[in-house]
Structure 1
């Protein structure tokens, strides 16, 4: 019998034992039954082996009793084996020893030598019991090891099953995350390349398309056209009907343009009320003019929004590759400049970029390139124009004016370089430089002079709308140690076309720092009288255009008087710019204008001229 067979037999017996005799009483009964049977057989064997005990059939055979005793001994061996299998090894050994002693007694005392084989059987049974004991212990160890392995495997199986469920759940979560990421990526790509309001390609995608066409045209020597489109007086729609209606209107304009363009052309929105049309076909100038003019005419048809009819026109500027530019930036700049020429000449027209514009563009590029290095080359300087009390002639303060003397271009007028600086974003660095230098200068003025005049600094709308604008002013105030109460920032009316919420937030932050706010060039730009109530301004500056004509023109005469009166009712001081004659001064004084600024009483001062003027002033400063 192999080890596997024995293990199977034992396991089967134990299963029967554990299932058939599960209770303690049954096991105890079985044990005592085996003991009783063994002792009974031992007694019967001794009795049979005693001389003179043969009877019946046993007398007829010479070895009948011996045979029967041998059979009984075999039964005893089976009993011992059964006891061993039922884990009663000690009991089996004790009974085996008792059995051997009984046989020895029969041999030694009764001289029954026929019992010798029984003694051998008992000795063999003892060996079998011992072997079974040893074998069973080993087998139990193996079974225990197998059971432990089984339990470990079951634990591992459960862990693997749990891990499988977890992995399955994680996989589902990853799939969901991938789906969300793909959806977000598509949305981000759309937002990166398309205008969210109209669904048209945005500036970035327009530039990408231009660069692609330029690359293709260089190999095939093709030409194409770029049209810059700007709606005329779109701000009036926003002001009168609200921004929501303005957005709906832009959507309808996009739909109308799309309906009128060639299937292969590329229409996009650059931002605000500006659109761009790329025509990737080689058309003659007349064909281009007719095509773009058809779009202009189509736009003239009335729009209906919220049961209101709206009529609008647009200005169109056309630039052609490669004649008008060999890069996306140059083409857009040329088309943009052409569109502004249309604006200057009366709007609602189509115009092509020409040689004169090319010269103007080249000059502009030259100014831009030199301007980028102006700070580093130390070509910039500041002058300060005094502001006086219109009645007492007392000094109020100074407006800071920027001057540029280029090593390459010579003295460049602010009217030329400031617009370019604003369009290119250079104004942000220029404005910071002006604030830094002006505050440093007037910090020293306040320390050394008896008077403390107000320092007014012009702020470009581009600079003003930068998120870092207010923190930048706060940082310069801390660096220079200049008292914020004597700083006045001048913003132009163009801030009114920006986000009013952002404008108000920035202005209130400046006011909280103690800085004064002045609205510059009032009456020439975008501001309506309602803005005077919304904006937290301290000072209103009337543009020189109105001051120049207050004596000759009745309209300007009445307008300036009304502006002064309205500002005073709102608690706002008024500064008149560009006052050059006594007649102008007399009129402004009669209307109660608070302060004047102009060549009549003071030109812009540079260098030591500032200190000379301050040394002649009384200690008290107006304002």
Structure 2
């Protein structure tokens, strides 16, 4: 019984791997021994990417199954002298003994990445997760337990920022980046309370009539010290920390209220598009939040369009179909953003109650010169038409692009050629001057 108690205290209940307590003891011993014999070793911090999405969409039991499978894969692919522990959640740590150069640590990291990415069947669904790995080395990067762990953690965050599914070594330079990240996260938490966010609006132009028929709300952050911070910088961080959920709700509320305000000022009703992030889409309160925003702002549901990306619906097709059908029942429109960049096929799109597809800007950029982009864009428009969807082209920047799209029966466009995202008062002026009149091009 004594042994059992000792085992429970030093091992993780779910995976039976050693836990943080035991890893700490082993690491202390490794430092003493390395110091005495002049040896080198490395600490690898492993964090599973997208684990939260699987946990949120398929449930905690599925998450547990995945963690057990991943633990086993890590364990099976290490040498007997290496030591792995689960720190909690989806974080693991590995002690790799007797490392003489960086390449040896890199080899271990590469091997782990390649075994972790292999698909795993969970609840009849094939899931793939990737991992981000941070590496710190003794004695090069740190000489004590705390600093070794902290530096491996910092390097792991860099791996996440580099696009996930990779490994990074700790270096002094990333310390400053990680400090920036921490300050950014703290500021992001405060930004909502201090109302530092605001929205800009980008018009969608009907290519036939030349009228503005829709608008997309885009969030901006005015930081008190750092000035205007690009969404490319803060949205991924908000998504990772979960702050995107309250921020997204604020965006939805503000955009709907603004749309109603424009109508009350006598402007024609336009459809307001708001982006949903993966975290928001997986959030169980999404439908309640939607209903309460529509009720509070008294906006007609058909004047709201939620934009989701292809990859979001592909994570768990069945759940996505249910969620989208429920949104559709409320009368809200649905759009697939960045279309053509993901994995979805015509057959899959048919499963979702979508109203609009948006052709990704990467295909529009080289129009009409690039033959391949032309072919893809034409195919997407034709596919949209066959399913009676509205087709919107994003990132239209030139007269030639606009003409090409108009000639190929694309419905709407948005982009700098017509208008960049602008403050609400500027959009109101634009809307007032681009009202639906039948164009002579008929």
Give yes or no for TM over 0.5: yes
1:278 correspondence with 2:94: yes
Residues 98-145 of structure 1, C-alpha deviations (whole Å, 9 max, x = no match): xxxxxxxxxxxxxxxxxxxxxxxxxxxxxxxxxxxxxxxxxxxxxxxx
Q: How does 1:364-513 map to 2 (within 5 A)?
A: 364-513=181-330
Could you tell me which residue of structure 2 aligns to residue 352 of structure 1?
169
Higher helix proportion: 1
* Shift in CA distance, 305/582, structure 1 to aligned 2, threshold 3 Å: closer
* Shift in CA distance, 315/407, structure 1 to aligned 2, threshold 3 Å: closer
1:577 correspondence with 2:394: yes
Match of 2:159 among 338, 349, 352: 338
What is the TM-score normalised by the length of structure 2?
0.77
Residues 362-415 of structure 1, C-alpha deviations (whole Å, 9 max, x = no match): 222222121111122221111111001112112111100111110021111111
How many residue pairs get matched?
401
The answer to whether the Cα contact below 8 Å between 1:516 and 1:538 also exists between their aligned partners in 2 is yes
- In 2, distance between residues paired with 1:313 and 1:370? 29
- In 1, distance between residues paired with 2:34 and 2:180? 28
- In 1, distance between residues paired with 2:119 and 2:431? 62
Structure 2 unaligned blocks of 5 or more: 36-40, 50-61, 122-128
* Shift in CA distance, 607/571, structure 1 to aligned 2, threshold 3 Å: closer
- In 1, distance between residues paired with 2:258 and 2:195? 16
Match of 2:335 among 505, 518, 523: 518
- In 2, distance between residues paired with 1:435 and 1:304? 36
- In 2, distance between residues paired with 1:430 and 1:448? 27
The answer to whether the Cα contact below 8 Å between 1:574 and 1:595 also exists between their aligned partners in 2 is yes
Could you tell me which residue of structure 2 aligns to residue 86 of structure 1?
none
Q: How does 1:41-52 map to 2 (within 5 A)?
A: none
Tell me which of the two structures has the higher relative contact order, counting C-alpha pairs closer than 8 angstroms and 6 or more residues apart.
2
The answer to whether the Cα contact below 8 Å between 2:364 and 2:394 also exists between their aligned partners in 1 is yes
Residues 189-248 of structure 1, C-alpha deviations (whole Å, 9 max, x = no match): 99x9455xxx465xxx866666777899999998861243779xxxxxxxxxxxx9xx89
- In 2, distance between residues paired with 1:553 and 1:560? 11
* Shift in CA distance, 298/376, structure 1 to aligned 2, threshold 3 Å: closer
Q: How does 1:13-412 map to 2 (within 5 A)?
A: 193=12, 199=15, 201=17, 225-228=43-46, 251=69, 254-255=72-73, 257-263=75-81, 265-268=83-86, 276-279=92-95, 283-284=98-99, 286=101, 289-291=103-105, 293-294=107-108, 296=110, 316-320=133-137, 323=142, 326=147, 331-338=152-159, 341=162, 351-412=168-229
Could you tell me which residue of structure 2 aligns to residue 604 of structure 1?
421
Could you tell me which residue of structure 1 aligns to residue 366 of structure 2?
549
Could you tell me which residue of structure 2 aligns to residue 115 of structure 1?
none
1:590 correspondence with 2:411: no
The answer to whether the Cα contact below 8 Å between 1:299 and 1:313 also exists between their aligned partners in 2 is yes
CA RMSD across the alignment: 4.2
3-state DSSP of counterpart to 2:348: helix
Task: Tell me the CA shift for residue 314 of structure 1.
Answer: 8.0
- In 2, distance between residues paired with 1:431 and 1:457? 9
Residues 50-74 of structure 1, C-alpha deviations (whole Å, 9 max, x = no match): xxxxxxxxxxxxxxxxxxxxxxxxx
3-state DSSP of counterpart to 1:401: strand
- In 2, distance between residues paired with 1:367 and 1:256? 33
3-state DSSP of counterpart to 2:190: coil
* Shift in CA distance, 364/527, structure 1 to aligned 2, threshold 3 Å: farther
Residues 535-558 of structure 1, C-alpha deviations (whole Å, 9 max, x = no match): 211100111111102233222111
The answer to whether the Cα contact below 8 Å between 1:256 and 1:299 also exists between their aligned partners in 2 is no
Residues 251-305 of structure 1, C-alpha deviations (whole Å, 9 max, x = no match): 499347425333550155988xx87342176x5561x64255156458879x999
- In 2, distance between residues paired with 1:374 and 1:577? 29
Structure 1 unaligned blocks of 5 or more: 1-185, 232-243, 307-311
The answer to whether the Cα contact below 8 Å between 2:136 and 2:148 also exists between their aligned partners in 1 is no
Could you tell me which residue of structure 1 aligns to residue 377 of structure 2?
560
Could you tell me which residue of structure 1 aligns to residue 38 of structure 2?
none
The answer to whether the Cα contact below 8 Å between 2:211 and 2:436 also exists between their aligned partners in 1 is no
- In 2, distance between residues paired with 1:269 and 1:526? 34
What is the TM-score normalised by the length of structure 1?
0.56
The answer to whether the Cα contact below 8 Å between 2:44 and 2:133 also exists between their aligned partners in 1 is no
Residues 430-453 of structure 1, C-alpha deviations (whole Å, 9 max, x = no match): 101111111111112222224100
- In 1, distance between residues paired with 2:32 and 2:105? 27
3-state DSSP of counterpart to 1:375: helix
* Shift in CA distance, 454/217, structure 1 to aligned 2, threshold 3 Å: farther
